[in-house]
Amino acid sequence: MIAETIKNSARILSGASIAEAIKREVAEEIKNLSFRPGLTVVRVGEDAASAIYVGNKVKTSAELGINSEHRHLPAETSEEELLQIVDELNERDDIDGILVQLPLPKHINESRILEQINPKKDVDGFHPVNVGRLSQGTPALAPCTPAGVIEILKRSAIEIAGAHAVIVGRSNIVGKPMAMLLLQENATVTICHSRTKNLAEITSQADILVAAVGRPGFVRGEHIKAGATVVDVGINNVSDADFAGELFDETEIEKRLKTIEKRGFTLVGDVNPREAKDKAANFTPVPGGIGLLTVAMLMKNTVDAAKMRRKTE
């Protein structure tokens, strides 16, 4: 089951079950290939969150039958040294996907590193070549998080064609590619950002509202059209118990407070879930929503990259 209903309020769209379905499909596809796709993840430094993300990616790769490799480099690695490693991976025929985990140490130019990756191996979908192809609607490796949003909408039977989709946030990682993917699905798309005037007036017209601003609980009931589908892409840490009380109803607040007491924080999105559930028809939770799809789509991108590269070379 990919969705569940809570208290006659919004249908909660489960990223977990959809991510598992995508991973099963990827594993089955790999079984039918005459080769094993290869993925290398490069991590520089000791960022704790990056270590967790990379661990999940490497573990999932192995589970699905992808040859995975983790290159962990010290924080003092120079930009030139990292570029040399990317060049080496570009040349290796057994590597189909290259992912340089962000953020990088401040002395390294992230754009320069990402542009050095062979576009055919750019499984993050951040290379300018893939960005350009995406904007043209031609086959491309799309960024994993926006691609995951499309999957959760389609697999939850949310009508995209003809819908008015509003995206709050214009980042290169989520906002802009999200707009391109929704356009490809024939939605009418509006992008809002920090300079947008009368934000609630615009977002409350959305049939599909995507929040990707990096501000906990920013999108509230006033921003949401009754019956809309609300997709929460944000991942934020909240440690204030009083603020958590504003975000969660009685069915969830006790669990969240225990998490804060144990870990020092609880994960929340960019949407106020208490208010969204009362207004929206469909809602993606945090955690348990879009975040789980990002790794699944990375696996799919790796297989797609392997197939496309071997077909053209």
Q: How much is the pTM? A: 0.93
Q: What is the mean pLDDT of residues 26-37?
A: 95
152-179, pLDDT tens digit by residue?
Answer: 999 999 999 999 999 999 999 999 999 9
DSSP letters along 225-283, please? -TT-EEEE---EEE--HHHHHHH--TTTHHHHHHHHHHHS-EEE-SB-HHHHHHH-SEE
37-56, pLDDT tens digit by residue?
Answer: 999 999 999 988 888 889 99
Cβ neighbour number for residue 286 with a 10 Å cutoff: 22
Domains of the chain: 34-118 (3.40.50.10860), 143-291 (3.40.50.720)
Residue 312 above 80 pLDDT?
A: no
Residues with active-site annotation: 57, 101, 124
Residue 47 and residue 28: Cα distance in Å, rounded? 34
User: Do residues 232 and 178 lie in contact, with contact meaning Cβ atoms separated by under 8 Å?
Assistant: no
100-140, pLDDT tens digit by residue?
Answer: 999 999 999 999 999 999 999 999 999 999 999 999 999 89
